[in-house]
Structure 1
Amino acid sequence: MTTSIETLLGNDAAYLLEHTSTTMDSDRFCLPGPDFIERVVCGSDRNQRVINNLARLFGNGRLAGTGYVSILPVDQGIEHSAGASFAPNPDYFDPENIIRLAIEGGCNAVASTFGVLGAVARKYAHRIPFLVKINHNELLSYPNSYDQVMFGGVQRAYDMGAAAVGATIYFGSAESRRQLVEVAEAFEKAHELGMATVLWCYLRNSEFKKDKDYHTSADLTGQANHLGVTLQADIIKQKLATNNGGYTAIKFGKTSPLVYDQLTSDHPIDLCRYQVASCYMGRAGLINSGGASSGASDLAEAVKTAVINKRAGGTGLISGRKAFQRPMKDGVELLNRIQDVYLDKTVTIA
């Protein structure tokens, strides 16, 4: 164990690094590993071009050949406004610096908008896998409806040389069924063209807030993941579970007492493991988001999330604001420290 990981975890080091999960045995899962493509993906209905692009994504950057991924996502210029996202470091108004950060940071891929990636595609699409985010929630329409709408077509992503496309569905929202149809059609087209697919499986409904915010409950996010894999997403992006019991709190939908009595516990690794189980027991990789930048604690928070994700059976981390809202050298270091968790063989599956 490297001292740096233990130090960054602080008082949570033993709690996270020594936890033994008694919910679902790890041997039930399709765990990440150097042979993940051959062992899991090649048995699916994905065509050879999709498999090639997934292999390219898993084979790039510092985590190449491990079965884990580190992705830099920068779509916040639309999702949160360019000012809110890039004012802390105006260099990232320039798309080229976003790509440079992903390359110098050793990422497997860079995820961004049609505009960002298209602006520098001929210079960089062959150097790092492009993941084009095809729909967004923009915050300029007033009042905002918190809806995801398409910003371009799958063919355009293919033409710029993208290895994958990504999309968001706000499960639980009034618009979710329209989004579901749009994304299903887009993902089918992407697979036909040979691109991999990544789905942001987020929850949005004011009724999901009761005594606490259940937008990050293991049971509700797990169901969102399950729906996402059913749409044939190759990788699922989800916020790290922070609580449980969403179904029972909102008194809607169906679940089983076994979910809470046997398949989960209140330990963060076990909550995340349920998210992985909902991704067809890991046949679609779960990557957790890094969350907003909170300043000096960013590195410790990112490493903690990476440890939880890895020990639960997840596939990696997708962290943006914590990396690009600071000088590039510091952003590269943060990305590398996240990757170090997945490279450290002493951080094992719980």
Structure 2
Amino acid sequence: MAYDKIISLLGSDAESLLQYESKTISKDMLHVPGPDFVDRIFMQTNRSARVLRNLQQLFDHGRLGRTGYISILPIDQGIEHTAGASFAPNPIYFDPENIMKLAIEGGCNGVATTFGNLAMMSRKYAHKIPFIVKINHNELLTYPTKYNQIMFGSVDDAWNLGAVAVGATIYFGSEESSRQIIEVAEAFERAHELGMATILWCYTRNSAFVKDGVDYHTAADITGQANHIGVTIQADIIKQKLPENNGGFTAVNFSKSDKRMYTELSSDNPIDLCRYQVANCYMGRAGLINSGGASQGESDLQEAVRTAVINKRAGGTGLILGRRAFQRSFKEGVELVNMVQDVYLSKEITIA
């Protein structure tokens, strides 16, 4: 029944997404999600027993527990997009307890939010749902607006809150990216020392990435390289926007590329574009979770399900979906998150 609903929501895209067979990077080359993912992938790494325990706790929680897939509720938009703009559609989320309740009722693997939100709720909820502390943010009170991720607290404080993981953002391509790479690499090293997992928001930001009216911030080649830098600084999980096009390197005329990146390793199909992102995450050894994006209103459910299908069929590890869930009624938010999770629970939807 859930599969039939997924087909209905995909509409005219159902056949092209669900029946597509990838001819680029073979699925046999990927390290695909599964119940044994932590044992199969991370047991051979430098991650300590405590990191393995916390990763396993994250993978075991919620409706997707023990599948190898993860569904995370991220609500850091109160800082990233201002609280008023983010919570005006549903003011109950000014109260951080309702963030915890939505993640729990929605059956999420974990909740990713700010130091303040988790500190306010730590003793009541740290043992009920895995905490992921977002340790840096872009604040929007500087005028004119500047885009720069800065630390909002320490990794040790995240550990004291009972977090199983820390999350951070790097704006790859920005003027401050070199400093952010150094800061986040050091923070991830400390997180691993304390036994926490690490999740990197691998975002790109540079006005030059818009060329001749085309926005290449989500190009597969540029985002793929951002992912590759992210796993290089030892992110266990990569969060990335779903690719919408390709050829950013050649259009903007920067960095280095090979024509086979656009012919043999990818195609115009969204599943292949996303698979190129997975490939840059060490062929899936670090899980790729795609972001749900901004709320568009009535089309949110369809778009979220479409993103989940693309991610799963590409070899990704799940979805991290926030605004589309919390910028509507609590009940509708739970239903949307559950529908996305149903994509990963569906045995009919396989890796392309």
CA shift for structure 1 position 141: 0.9
CA distance in 2, matches of 1:47, 1:31: 22
Partner of 2:137: 136
For residue 40 of structure 1, give the secondary structure of its aligned residue in structure 2: helix
Alignment of 1:122-271 (within 5 A): 122-211=123-212, 212-271=214-273
CA shift for structure 1 position 145: 1.5
Count how many residue pairs are aligned between Structure 1 and Structure 2.
Answer: 350
Partner of 2:277: 275
| CA distances 1:62-105 after superposition (whole Å, capped 9, x unpaired) | 00000000000000000000000000000000000000000000
Partner of 1:119: 120
CA shift for structure 1 position 60: 0.1
Structure-2-length-normalised TM-score = 0.99
CA distance in 1, matches of 2:38, 2:308: 21
| CA distances 1:209-234 after superposition (whole Å, capped 9, x unpaired) | 01310000000000000000000000
CA distance in 1, matches of 2:95, 2:329: 14
| CA distances 1:271-305 after superposition (whole Å, capped 9, x unpaired) | 00000000000000000000000111000000000
CA distance in 2, matches of 1:210, 1:347: 36
CA distance in 2, matches of 1:320, 1:306: 14
For residue 211 of structure 2, give the secondary structure of its aligned residue in structure 1: coil
Which amino acid in structure 2 is aligned with residue 254 of structure 1?
A: K
| CA distances 1:96-135 after superposition (whole Å, capped 9, x unpaired) | 0000000000000000000011110000001100000000
Percent identity, aligned pairs only?
69
CA shift for structure 1 position 138: 0.8
CA shift for structure 1 position 143: 1.2
CA distance in 1, matches of 2:170, 2:38: 26
For residue 215 of structure 1, give the secondary structure of its aligned residue in structure 2: coil
Which aligned runs of 4 or more in structure 1 are off by greater than 6 angstroms?
none
CA distance in 2, matches of 1:22, 1:87: 45
CA distance in 1, matches of 2:143, 2:183: 23
CA distance in 2, matches of 1:144, 1:49: 40
| CA distances 1:151-182 after superposition (whole Å, capped 9, x unpaired) | 00000000010000000000000000000000
Structure-1-length-normalised TM-score = 0.99
For residue 156 of structure 2, give the secondary structure of its aligned residue in structure 1: helix
For residue 167 of structure 1, give the secondary structure of its aligned residue in structure 2: strand
Which amino acid in structure 2 is aligned with residue 328 of structure 1?
A: F
Which amino acid in structure 1 is aligned with residue 12 of structure 2?
A: N
| CA distances 1:315-334 after superposition (whole Å, capped 9, x unpaired) | 00000000001111110000
Partner of 1:295: 297
Partner of 1:343: 345
Which amino acid in structure 1 is aligned with residue 324 of structure 2?
A: K
Alignment of 1:37-48 (within 5 A): 37-48=38-49
For residue 294 of structure 1, give the secondary structure of its aligned residue in structure 2: coil
Partner of 1:5: 6
CA distance in 2, matches of 1:2, 1:337: 10
Root mean square deviation, CA, Å: 0.6
1:35 to 2:36 alignment: yes
CA distance in 2, matches of 1:156, 1:2: 42
CA distance in 1, matches of 2:29, 2:278: 11
CA distance in 1, matches of 2:107, 2:348: 21
For residue 57 of structure 2, give the secondary structure of its aligned residue in structure 1: helix
Partner of 1:108: 109
CA distance in 2, matches of 1:299, 1:71: 16
1:307 to 2:309 alignment: yes
CA distance in 1, matches of 2:3, 2:347: 10
Partner of 1:63: 64
CA distance in 1, matches of 2:106, 2:301: 14
CA shift for structure 1 position 11: 0.3
Partner of 2:324: 322
